[in-house]
Amino acid sequence: MAYWDQEKECMPREELEKIQLRRLKEIVFRVYAFVPAYKEKMDQAGIKPDDINKLEDIKNLPFTTKQDLRDNYPFGLFATPMSEVIRIHSSSGTTGKPTVVGYTRRDIEIWAELMARALSSAGATKRSVIQNSYGYGLFTGGLGVHYGAERLGASVIPSSGGNTKRQIMLMQDFGTTELTCTPSYALFMHEVMQEMGVKPADLKIKAGVFGAEPWSENMRREIENKLEIDAYDIYGLSEIIGPGVAIECNAKSGLHIAEDHFLAEIIDPISGQVLEDGNEGELVITTITKEALPLIRYRTRDLSSLNREECECGRTHARMGKVLGRSDDMVIIRGVNVFPSMVESVLLDIPGVEPYYLLVVDRKDNLDFLEVQVEISEKLFSDEVRKLEELGTLINKELESALGIGVKVRLVEPKSIERSEGKARRVIDKRKI
Amino acid sequence: MAKQISVFLENKAGRLSHVTRVLGEADINIRALSIADTSDFGILRIIVNDPEKAYTILKEAGFTVSETEVIAVQVPDSPGGLARVLEQMSEESLNIEYLYAFLGSSEDDALVIFKVEDFEKARSTFKEKGIKFLDEKLLYKL
């Protein structure tokens, strides 16, 4: 078992909780003193920093949402002067004003440490050649992984996203041992490999660290079989720090949250009540060491669960379940919540179906319709209409029984669904346009 | 026996013209064609002068393609000609998946492309009943 920092990763929980409480108190003091928006929120909620005496008291603190970041655009929630901020990242802002995050030198250090932990957990070492195909730039994926891989001492190929043929050439020529990118891009790379006649068995790649979008267990199987690697899920979001908030170990049964830096809770997304471990709900994270942008009870919109039981890998940090979906990815169709990951899981259970699909939601005569477009693969194609229609009916039946709503399945030509070099677009909601 | 090329087509404007343009540019001549369609997609079935090349070219162009074994049956080009052949097939319980006409003829006969369930049985039945079918090499040259 390879740990990056065994002392911290395997710390007895009692000791860990002491550190967490000390850090939580500090951070609450700090935001109350330095961030007017937090002082206002806490005053409104009638809570003072002195009221935090045990870890459970966290539930009395107000939540922070993406909207708070937008309302204080760009730097209003920063707790340090700009002279201390050495890096700024930002979201793309496709759904409104971008959210802006800042890092002090120490924040960047901690981030690199956490990413080194994450890469080690996926089996990477200083002898690894890590091809980092997350986008470099304002997006935290590229630089986050990059600093961690350097901290680890591995050889980093900063290939960023895009130019897929060149990515595969680099993989061959530089002997890439670990690949980091979004899971959908990993599958697209495999497609291009096939076109180029490159066999995964001839490559040195052993593992991949995939994240930045929800992906199902079936997708993991698909990636592992096709690329002949171990696929690890990594979790993070720029508001909290970027990639490295949580990472799978080789038990692959949940992602260890770096609990010495982040406190995690699962809440009921509607009532806001904290749920017991094991229940599914919205993940809420408090950063307890961040300097530039500390966030108290940040609502991630990611749906997951928590497990604080001991893991076979020896790490004591709590595990979050694989993210099932984002509440903003979720589409509500006739009152039923539908996640792209549910559709993906159903499709990949049908032999021969490729994980390229698109959900199109539309409204006709005040009724919502879900169309699921599925690419027809060579394996599934038949020259007989009857057989293709049977396939369509089968997919339809499976989807309807899994989702609980009527679905129209449309078989489409291969490669007609847009391939992504970053986060895949899975839903087109025409109701909003 | 002959090779038919089958292509999956989404029900979208311009798809059929795209396939035919790709074939035309590769100097491939279409000798017979039929389209099976549903509301969402269609299957284009063609007999061409060079099936292997057509298969490769279409695959490279990104289409979903398959090769299917079919039989080009010579049917007397006179009233009742096809009916007689079909009756003989039905007597032997030979199931037909689909059939379509060829755009040319062989001697005095019309040509009809048959996709049957059981090839071997079809072949022996045709021989037994004296139903003529065309060798694929001759077919591609027509």
Q: pLDDT tens for residues A317-329? A: 999 999 877 766 7
Does the distance separating the beta carbons of B38 and A389 come in below 8 Å?
Answer: yes
Fold of B69-141: VC0802-like (3.30.2130)
User: A382 CA to chain B: closest CA distance, Å?
Assistant: 7
Does the distance separating the beta carbons of B98 and A413 come in below 8 Å?
Answer: no
Q: Is B44 on the interface with A (CB under 8 A)?
A: no
Contacts of B15 in chain A (CB under 8 A): 413
pLDDT in tens, B44-87: 999 999 999 999 999 999 899 999 999 999 898 889 989 999 99
Domains in chain A, CATH or no CATH each = 1-328 (3.40.50.12780), 331-429 (3.30.300.30)
Contacts of A385 in chain B (CB under 8 A): 36-38, 43
Banded model confidence at residue A422, pLDDT cuts 50, 70, 90: confident
pLDDT in tens, A189-231: 999 999 999 999 999 999 999 998 888 898 999 999 999 999 9
Q: Is residue A82 scored above 80 in pLDDT?
A: yes
Contacts of B63 in chain A (CB under 8 A): 413-414
Q: Domain boundaries in chain B? A: 2-68, 69-141
Does the distance separating the beta carbons of B64 and A411 come in below 8 Å?
Answer: no
Does the distance separating the beta carbons of A383 and B4 come in below 8 Å?
Answer: yes
Of B36, B40, B63, Cβ closest to residue A410: B40
Contacts of A383 in chain B (CB under 8 A): 4, 6, 43, 45, 66, 68, 115
Of B15, B36, B64, Cβ closest to residue A385: B36
Identical fold, B2-68 and B69-141: yes
CB B18 within 8 A of CB B57: no
> Average model confidence (pLDDT) for chain A?
92
User: A383 CA to chain B: closest CA distance, Å?
Assistant: 6
Name the residue in chain B with its Cα closest to that of A383.
B6
CA separation for the pair A311, A318 (Å, rounded): 9
Of B4, B38, B68, Cβ closest to residue A385: B38
**pLDDT, position A1:** 57
Highest mean pLDDT of the ranges A54-63, A323-332, A394-403: A54-63
Q: Is B64 on the interface with A (CB under 8 A)?
A: yes
User: A362 CA to chain B: closest CA distance, Å?
Assistant: 17
Banded model confidence at residue A42, pLDDT cuts 50, 70, 90: very high
Contacts of A376 in chain B (CB under 8 A): 8, 41, 64
Q: Is B17 on the interface with A (CB under 8 A)?
A: no
User: B80 CA to chain A: closest CA distance, Å?
Assistant: 27
Q: Is B56 on the interface with A (CB under 8 A)?
A: no
ipTM of the complex as predicted: 0.80
Does the distance separating the beta carbons of B66 and A382 come in below 8 Å?
Answer: yes
Contacts of A411 in chain B (CB under 8 A): 8, 10, 40-41
pLDDT in tens, A281-307: 999 999 999 999 999 999 998 999 999
pLDDT in tens, B74-128: 898 889 989 999 999 999 899 999 999 887 776 778 889 999 988 889 988 888 8
Q: Is B39 on the interface with A (CB under 8 A)?
A: no
- DSSP code for B142: -
Fold of B2-68: VC0802-like (3.30.2130)
Of B15, B62, B64, Cβ closest to residue A376: B64
| A/B interface, count of CB pairs below 8 Å | 55
A87 Cβ contact list (under 8 Å, min separation 6): A102, A103, A107, A108, A143
Residues A5-30 have a mean pLDDT of 97
Span of A6-15, A99-108, B70-79 with lowest mean pLDDT:
B70-79
Of B15, B40, B63, Cβ closest to residue A411: B40
Does the distance separating the beta carbons of A381 and B64 come in below 8 Å?
Answer: yes
Contacts of B46 in chain A (CB under 8 A): none
Name the residue in chain A with its Cα closest to that of B97.
A384
User: A420 CA to chain B: closest CA distance, Å?
Assistant: 18
Name the residue in chain A with its Cα closest to that of B98.
A384
Handedness of CA A283, A288, A291, A296 (dihedral sign): positive
Q: Is residue A378 scored above 90 in pLDDT?
A: no
CA separation for the pair A202, A200 (Å, rounded): 5
Contacts of A416 in chain B (CB under 8 A): 10
**pLDDT, position A379:** 84
- Nearest 5°: phi and psi at A191? -60, -45
Span of A112-116, A170-174, A204-208, B38-42 with lowest mean pLDDT:
B38-42
B76 Cβ contact list (under 8 Å, min separation 6): B84, B108, B109, B110
Contacts of B66 in chain A (CB under 8 A): 378, 381-383
Q: Is residue A93 scored above 80 in pLDDT?
A: no
Percent of chain A with pLDDT over 70: 98
Does the distance separating the beta carbons of B62 and A383 come in below 8 Å?
Answer: no
Of B41, B62, B97, Cβ closest to residue A384: B97
Q: Which residues of B25-47 are buried (b: 16+ CB within 10 A; e: fewer)?
A: ebebebbbbeebeeebbbbbbbb
Does the distance separating the beta carbons of A377 and B8 come in below 8 Å?
Answer: no
Q: Is B40 on the interface with A (CB under 8 A)?
A: yes
pLDDT in tens, A223-273: 999 999 999 999 999 999 999 999 999 999 999 999 999 999 999 888 899
Contacts of A382 in chain B (CB under 8 A): 66
pLDDT in tens, B8-45: 998 888 889 999 999 999 999 998 999 998 888 999 99
Contacts of B36 in chain A (CB under 8 A): 384-385
